[in-house]
C-alpha cells in the first residue's frame, strides 16, 4: 500500500462502529487488560460459551471442561446472540453478571452464550481500545466444521501488526481448540474467504453445497450472505446475522437477476484485495444503496 493510502486505511480500522464501540469500558480495556494479543484473546474467550458447546454439554473438546461444566449453566439459559448484538452490550452484561469483568475465574453460569460473530466483534473492540487497527471478517471455516468435507460460516478478526507491517488473522472463537495452526496467526490458505468462495462457486470451480451456515442453509445463497457480511465488516459495519440486502434474502435470492449476480461478482473481485481496492470499496459503500441498505427484523 502507498503511504497515504495505508495511513487512511489504518485510521479507518482504528475507528469504532456502533457494534465495536466499548462505551464506558474503553479506558478499562485500554489500561487494565493485557496488551499481548494472544493473552487477551484467550482471556476474552474464557468469558464466553458457544451455543453448540452448551447444546453438546461436556463432550467433544469440552470433555476436559475447558469451557466450563455445562451442567452448571442454568437450565433456562438460551443462546444470547439476539440479546447482546454490540460489544458495549456484551461488556455491560459481563460486568453485570460478575463485577470482576474479564476474569479467568468467571463461573460458567456467568458466561455469555454467543457465537463467533460476537467473539470477533468483542476482540476487535478490545484491539481498537488499545489503538490497534482491527477489522472483523466473515467467511467459512473448514477446520472445525462438524460436517466432514464441508465449510461452515465463521467470523474472525484481523489486526494490523505494526512491526511486521501486515494483517494478522486471529480466530479467537477457536483459540482453545486443538488446531493444526496458530489461531493467533491463521495462514490465509486455511480460511475460506467469502469473496474467493463466491467467485469460485460462480465460476463452477467448487461445489457451492460444500459451504453452509449454522441455520442449515447451503449453496450460493449463504455464500452471498457471507460476502455481504464481509463487505459490511470491511466498512466497519459488523451487521447481525439476519440483516442482509433484500436481493439475497430468503424468498428473493431464487429470482435474483443476472445483473445483480454480476454486480456481486464485481464486488467480490475488489474484495480479493481489500486494501489495494479500499477506495473503490468505499465508493460502492457511499453510492450504491443495494449494496448497503439491509432488510430483516424491524428494518423492513
- Name residue, grid cell 478499562: 28
Q: What is the DSSP letter of 235?
A: T
d(CA 258, CA 100): 54
Confidence of residue 190 (pLDDT cuts 50, 70, 90): very high
Helix/strand/coil percentages in the chain, nearest 5: 45, 10, 40
Nearest to 91 by CA among 80, 102, 77: 102
How open is the CA angle 51-53-54, to the nearest 5 degrees? 65
Nearest to 85 by CA among 260, 268, 237, 264: 237
Q: Among the residues of 157-288, which ranges form H helices? A: 194-202, 220-234, 258-271, 278-287
Whole-number pLDDT of residue 300: 75
Residue 87: strand, helix, or coil: helix
pLDDT tens digits, residue range 41-77? 999 999 999 999 999 999 999 999 999 999 999 999 9
pLDDT tens digits, residue range 160-181? 999 999 999 999 999 999 999 9
CB 1 within 8 A of CB 275: yes
Q: What is the pTM of this model?
A: 0.97
Q: Is the pLDDT of residue 1 over 70?
A: no
Q: Is the pLDDT of residue 3 over 80?
A: no
- What is the percentage of the chain residues whose pLDDT exceeds 70? 98
Higher-confidence position of 296 and 4: 296
Instruction: Report CA-CA distances (Å) from 274 to 186, 199, 207.
Output: 18, 15, 25
Q: How many CB atoms neighbour CB 66 within 10 A?
A: 12
Amino acid at each position: 500500500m502507498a503511504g497515504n493510502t495505508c495511513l487512511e486505511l489504518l485510521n479507518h480500522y482504528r475507528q469504532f462502529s456502533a457494534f465495536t464501540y466499548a462505551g464506558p469500558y474503553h479506558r478499562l480495556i485500554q489500561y487494565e487488560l493485557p496488551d499481548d494479543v494472544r493473552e487477551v484473546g484467550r482471556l476474552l474467550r474464557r468469558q464466553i460459551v458457544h451455543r453448540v458447546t452448551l447444546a453438546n454439554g461436556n463432550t467433544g473438546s469440552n470433555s476436559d471442561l475447558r469451557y466450563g461444566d455445562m451442567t452448571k449453566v442454568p437450565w433456562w439459559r438460551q443462546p444470547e446472540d439476539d440479546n447482546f448484538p454490540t460489544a458495549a452490550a456484551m461488556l455491560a452484561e459481563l460486568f453485570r453478571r460478575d463485577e470482576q469483568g474479564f476474569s479467568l475465574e468467571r463461573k460458567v453460569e456467568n458466561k455469555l452464550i454467543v457465537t463467533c460473530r460476537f467473539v470477533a466483534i468483542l476482540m476487535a473492540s478490545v484491539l481498537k481500545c488499545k489503538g490497534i487497527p482491527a477489522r472483523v471478517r466473515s467467511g467459512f471455516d473448514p477446520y472445525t466444521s462438524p460436517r466432514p468435507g464441508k465449510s461452515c460460516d465463521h467470523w474472525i478478526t484481523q489486526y494490523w501488526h505494526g512491526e511486521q507491517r501486515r494483517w494478522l488473522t486471529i480466530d479467537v472463537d477457536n483459540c482453545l481448540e486443538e488446531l493444526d495452526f496458530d489461531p493467533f496467526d491463521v495462514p490465509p490458505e486455511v480460511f475460506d474467504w467469502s469473496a474467493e468462495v463466491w467467485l469460485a462457486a460462480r465460476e463452477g470451480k467448487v461445489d457451492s453445497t460444500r459451504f453452509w451456515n449454522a441455520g442449515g442453509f447451503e449453496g450460493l445463497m449463504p455464500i452471498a450472505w457471507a460476502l455481504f457480511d464481509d463487505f459490511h465488516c470491511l466498512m466497519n459495519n459488523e451487521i447481525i446475522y439476519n440483516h442482509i440486502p433484500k436481493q439475497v434474502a430468503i424468498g428473493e435470492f431464487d429470482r435474483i437477476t443476472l445483473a445483480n449476480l454480476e454486480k456481486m461478482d464485481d464486488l467480490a473481485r475488489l474484495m480479493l484485495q481489500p486494501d489495494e481496492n479500499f477506495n473503490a470499496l468505499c465508493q460502492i459503500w457511499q453510492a450504491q444503496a443495494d449494496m448497503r441498505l439491509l432488510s430483516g427484523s424491524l428494518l423492513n
